[in-house]
Amino acid sequence: MISTETLDLRVDNSVLYATLDAPPLNLIGPELVRDLVNLVLYLESHDDISVVLFRSASSEFFSAHVDMYRASELGAEVSRLEPGAPLGELYRRISALNQVSIAAITGRVRGAGSEFVLACDMRFAGEHAMFGQPEIGLGAVPGAGALQHLTRLMGRGRALEALIGAEDFPADLAAQYGWINRVLPEDELPAFTSALAHRIARFPTAGIADAKRRVNALTLPDPDALHEDSQLFLAGLGRPETKARMQQLFAAGMQTDGALEAGFGAGLDDLAPSRL
C-alpha cells in the first residue's frame, strides 16, 4: 500500500478504507490532492481492490472547500495524471475507476470538497451533514464538476437553486434533491456503508467494471466541459468583486475552525453587496 500524509488507508477483504485526515477542515490542498493522485494511480493498476470507502476523521468537516491560500499549487499535483489537467480531471478519474467509490459523509462538505464526493459513485450522509456550493456567492462558478453533476442529479431548476442560491443544504434536503443517495443516523452510517462496501466486494469485478463503464458513458461529463468549468472558475477568482468578497471572508475567519466555516451559507449573507 502507498504511503500518504492526509489519507489513512487500510484494506479489509478487497475494501480500501480511505479516511481524510487533514485537520481541522480537510481542505482540498496540495497535500490532499497529491495523496488522491497517488491513490488513483495505485488503484488504476491494482485489481485486488473492489471498493474504496472514503470517510473523514472529523465529525465536523468531511471537507470544507479548496485551500484558497494554496489553490495555485494544485495544478502541479494534478498534472501528474495529465499535463495541464484541472482538479476536475482528478475527480473524473475517481469516477472512472473500475473500483466502486463510496463516500460516507459526516459534517460539512462544500465547494471542491462537495465536488469530490459528487465524483464518487455513491454518497451516504449522516443526519447532521451539511452540503454547499458557495462559489457563486463569491463571484465565481464551481470549477471541478458541480455544475455538471448537480444538473444531472437534480435537474435544471434545483441545480440552479443549489448553485446560484449558494446556501447550505442539510442532509435530508440534499437527499430529497438528489445530491446524495440517502441519509442515515450518525451512529448507523459507518456500519451501513461498510456492509454495502463488503457486499459489493464479494461480486465479480468484471461485472462491476462493465456496469460502471456503461453508466459512466451515460452520466459523466466530457473532459472538455470540466476544463471549461475550471477556466470559468479561475476567471471568476480574478474579478475585482470576487477578490473583495474573498478579503471579507478571510477577515471573518474563512479557513479557520470557527463560526464562518460552521455556517458558510449564512456567512455569505453578511458580505457587503457587490457594487461592480
pLDDT surpassing 70 at residue 275: no
Q: Is the pTM of this model over 0.85?
A: yes
The 10 Å Cβ neighbour count of residue 8 is 12
In a domain, 262, yes or no: no
Contact between 51 and 102 under an 8 Å Cβ cutoff? The reply is yes
Confidence at residue 274, expressed as pLDDT on a 0 to 100 scale: 64
In a domain, 253, yes or no: no
From the candidates 135, 167, 188, 228, give the one annotated as an active-site residue.
Answer: 135
pLDDT surpassing 50 at residue 57: yes
Place of cell 456503461: 214
DSSP 8-state assignment for residue 220: S
* Domain of 192, in residue numbers: 7-201
Contact between 242 and 140 under an 8 Å Cβ cutoff? The reply is yes
In a domain, 272, yes or no: no
Contact between 58 and 93 under an 8 Å Cβ cutoff? The reply is no
77 is catalytic: no
135 is catalytic: yes
Q: What is the pLDDT of residues 175-214, one digit of tens each?
A: 999 999 999 999 999 999 999 999 999 999 999 999 999 9
Q: What is the pLDDT of residues 75-84, one digit of tens each?
A: 999 999 999 9
DSSP 8-state assignment for residue 6: S
Mean model confidence pLDDT for the chain: 95
Q: What is the pLDDT of residues 142-163, one digit of tens each?
A: 999 999 999 999 999 999 999 9
Task: Give the total number of structural domains in the chain.
Answer: 1
From the candidates 60, 89, 115, 167, give the one annotated as an active-site residue.
Answer: 115
Place of cell 487533514: 22
Determine the 3-state secondary structure of 128 from DSSP.
Answer: coil
In DSSP terms, 108 is beta-bridged to: 61, 130
Helix (H) or strand (E) holding 207: helix 205-219
Confidence at residue 276, expressed as pLDDT on a 0 to 100 scale: 46
In a domain, 218, yes or no: no
Confidence at residue 271, expressed as pLDDT on a 0 to 100 scale: 86
In a domain, 229, yes or no: no
In DSSP terms, 53 is beta-bridged to: 17, 102
- CATH code assigned at 13: 3.90.226.10
